[in-house]
Structure 1
């Protein structure tokens, strides 16, 4: 007998179908076990339905295939045995127009082989039975989806508690109605939750956990077993730990719920296994107590040199402008134009954490409208969708402050030139030759007339970075080219400068980079 391909979906109790008064179905043979379930309804008039069944079906037939002399031979016994061998869950026999009653030999065969036999009255078409089955299946799927969703939310909340590992285990035990255990890399039970089963079950679960413990390329990621009326399941965690579950029954959504718990426990035990979380905490405590960068850096596990990355979400511009403010000329000329994407809020901790993971570092710090990331210098950095990145030169720990300045300047240049990733050059520029405070004072004095007009500052910066191109600036700012001309003319008037002069442009660009 081949393995049955029963769909991994919530089944429908056969009793629920029999309870439908509109169908008027009646069980006339076979077991009346309330735990009997069906996964589908299928109609067939084949004398041997075996090749057409996957398992778990309610097979519906009107008896067209039954020969006249079937009652005196082994026809019905062979027919029912093939349904059972195929994994059929029940048989529905429709009365009229072929048969006025259910053949007695069929009733006896179903009793013999333990197959529930339902009598379908003439007024109930098979399509009505199939529709009722699918309705009940849809209700069961919806209920299971709600159960899985609520379990996922509770597991995520548990992972954020001060005692995350025990909390996740407790929620998993509660949501699956069983007992859960976490096994360490040496196979010892570290933590558990739920009602503890008898020793034979706990011993079998510990042995099952050993099966999934990483030991080579062929190690399975999960394994199941049944013992003493209890369903056992074990899942490997990539950190060398293993998760074990002992439940009275195996519900369709249990695997999904366990998978979520496995991911969370992998992250939580990864911190414990590698010690990276404790090391970062130690680094912070040592720094607060007066430690130097050279002393703290080894605790972060990043090697001798580091990169500092400053990142900002693409499209975050005019961030100082009043909410909802729009240039009336811009609105009049851009009617129907598609606005450029914007990020009205600074990056939150979740997006910053995702960026850090993409760059290969958990050392992140959202500050204002940018995210600072400390990355080991041996990492290969790539542009990240939705972000503009400025990257410093590799520096030792004692020069991280300098690297932060380099990353900030690289980000400013990347923003102005619409470059996704820009690295600090090894060749010193003009900005490195002028003291920072003096350069900023000069910039404030030169750009002072534009201080109350952030849209003009942004337009001037973009226009200069694009070599005075009206069209490219208009596209970059998602405004009309005439709006760009008007803003640049307004800048020239407020500054009292001839902006077409290359020397003036150079000085303005230098000042804009000091913001």
Structure 2
């Protein structure tokens, strides 16, 4: 129920009030602003005794002469005091409203309305008081209904998300929740706010959390206004709830306060529960790494039948977002996820024929995942090591160990440190350009045969012999021996 306004009061047929003048020329805000009270006075200057946001009623006895200039001065004082409207009771002191008063109110933008003789001022004040009481009762009833609906929503499987969705519906405004890192983890309605506004709200939410104190704050972004509330106890804030309005009455604020308390408690409980699950998953993983699935089978109830592939997500993968995605997608797949925390990361196990699950996960979240070759549980530790090696190998998406192994042993050994060492070792060859290095590579590719290598290079075999001898001296390697040639080949490939 909307707050009582002057427009609503004028619409009461039982009062018989009539707006004087052209409504289209009046400021709409005067007719539609919340009307706090109705007061009557015939003082020449009642403004010292008036409250804010009220309508004034008068019989006009203060106007000695309806043609005098004091009417304009009177209306000016009312406009300066921001009186919402002026009611003139006809038939008491004057049979009609003075024309100068009509013109002065029109010029000042104050709605002027006629109160008929049969309508006492006290009836108008009582009607408005009843409207205020009805509005207050309606808001309290709304708040109780909202609290009841929110309590029911909190009992649903995803209680926190359901509660926030119900809050958005009850308030009729967008509601979003940001976690402690400033990530939007829930909103209703979906995409109800522009991406630019969400980014700006995320920045402000991060600032509030880093400040460490409980706070509520208003923020205006373009034409939109928002109110932000922190979640949790100081200094361990859990997140921020953002509501797409800057105006919350007492009842709305009370409902929001109860949701903040519920959300803060739920997030703290979820964090403790997550920590407990991670400890349990760490123990299960430790047991599997001993190549014994017994504990995993007892704790998890069921595990994927062998052969299985093991996958490890990169360290900064969003575990909180991946877990619900995995629960939704693993229906129909024989797979488990072990979230062991930031140290060991997210480890996943799936049957060998369910490997596409890892590709979908990597694509949806834009992360890298190392995937092992199929193994039995008796070789789980080897599969885990393979997944870890595939993850560190580089690439994007789901990187499979079988693909990295196909590059050969030199590819596996080509770390940044090895490349730096190879480049430093070959620096003497490259001092005068790459001709000497190219000659050596071609020579090795032709199994160290001078005739065929020289022909491929388009030079004489004696020239090639001289270049090999020069390289042998610069590198301090006896290239007539196979170990030295093998080392040179490894250096060339790695660099």
Q: Which has the larger radius of gyration?
A: 2
TM-score normalised by structure 2 residue count: 0.49
Give the number of the structure with larger relative contact order, counting CA–CA contacts within 8 Å between residues 6 or more apart. Answer: 1
Q: Identify, as 1 or 2, the structure richer in helix.
A: 2
TM-score normalised by structure 1 residue count: 0.48
